[in-house]
């Protein structure tokens, strides 16, 4: 901690460094990679009230030179980047970021969908596959309600999609690439001087 309770964000406070200089340095660091002394000066000049450590461009430049703001900014940015990378590495090493965890979730989902798919009512009908519905025939006073069943294609589609995702996660789906010649024709090789050359592709 520095005097007045201001903590320097990067580097070590020098004995001659006032709390106002520390605040100025911190404000400079918080500006991010696009920071500049001119930008900090404009920020202070446009700030209402007496909350800035200085409104003098010369003072800002003096603090920066005397207390190594450029070096502190490099250290500050590097520390933030290291923290971000460490956080990203942690996230990518946990939970669903890991392939085997995704496989477990997909397997459980596939199992649930399969249970729903083959669930039968007392009448032996797969009631999640054949879903009751109502249709109206005619209109007005002559309208007639008709009870029907429609095929629940969505549950089949979801089951197939889950199986497809499982296959992709476990290497069961191999994307094949086919190389063809010009206009989709087969590539023809001819020998010139002992070297096989392909036709234009």
Q: What is the pLDDT of residues 94-122, one digit of tens each?
A: 998 999 999 999 999 999 999 999 998 88
| Residue 168 domain-assigned (yes or no) | no
- Count of structural domains, the chain: 1
Backbone phi and psi for residue 136, each to the nearest 5 degrees, phi listed first: -105, 130
Q: What average pLDDT does this structure show over 52-67?
A: 97
| Residue 19 domain-assigned (yes or no) | yes
Which tokens is 96 given? 């669903």
Lowest mean pLDDT among 45-49, 127-131, 184-188: 184-188
Q: For residue 84, give the H/E element and its range.
A: helix 69-92
| Residue 173 domain-assigned (yes or no) | no
Distance (Å, whole) CA 12 – CA 68: 10
| Residue 33 domain-assigned (yes or no) | yes
Q: Calculate the alpha carbon distances from 130 to 56, 109, 145, 155, 161 in Å.
A: 78, 21, 19, 11, 20
| Residue 130 domain-assigned (yes or no) | no
In terms of residue numbers, what domain contains 20?
3-90
| Residue 166 domain-assigned (yes or no) | no
| Residue 102 domain-assigned (yes or no) | no
pLDDT of 78: 97
Q: Calculate the alpha carbon distances from 125 to 69, 128, 151, 163 in Å.
A: 76, 9, 12, 24
Lowest mean pLDDT among 53-62, 116-125, 143-152, 160-169: 143-152
Specify the residue for token string 């320097």: 8
| Residue 101 domain-assigned (yes or no) | no
Distance (Å, whole) CA 36 – CA 165: 49
Model pTM?
Answer: 0.57
Do 23 and 6 touch, CB atoms closer than 8 A? yes
pLDDT of 189: 57
């Amino acid at each position: 901690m520095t005097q007045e309770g201001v903590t320097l964000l990067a580097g070590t406070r020098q004995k001659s460094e006032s709390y106002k200089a520390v605040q100025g340095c911190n404000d400079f660091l918080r500006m991010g990679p696009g920071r500049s002394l001119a930008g900090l000066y404009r920020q202070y000049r446009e700030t209402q009230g007496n909350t800035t450590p200085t409104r003098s461009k010369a003072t800002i430049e003096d603090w920066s030179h005397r207390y190594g703001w450029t070096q502190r900014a490099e250290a500050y940015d590097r520390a933030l980047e290291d923290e971000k990378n460490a956080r990203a590495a942690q996230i990518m090493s946990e939970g669903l970021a890991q392939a085997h965890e995704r496989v477990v979730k997909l397997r459980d989902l596939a199992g649930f969908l399969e249970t729903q798919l083959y669930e039968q009512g007392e009448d032996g009908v797969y009631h999640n596959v054949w879903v009751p519905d109502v249709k109206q025939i005619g209109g007005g006073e002559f309208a007639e309600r008709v009870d029907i069943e429609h095929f629940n294609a969505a549950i089949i589609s979801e089951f197939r999609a889950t199986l497809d995702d499982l296959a992709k996660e476990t290497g069961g789906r191999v994307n094949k690439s086919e190389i063809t010649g010009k206009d989709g024709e087969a590539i023809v090789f001819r020998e010139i001087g002992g070297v096989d050359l392909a036709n234009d592709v």
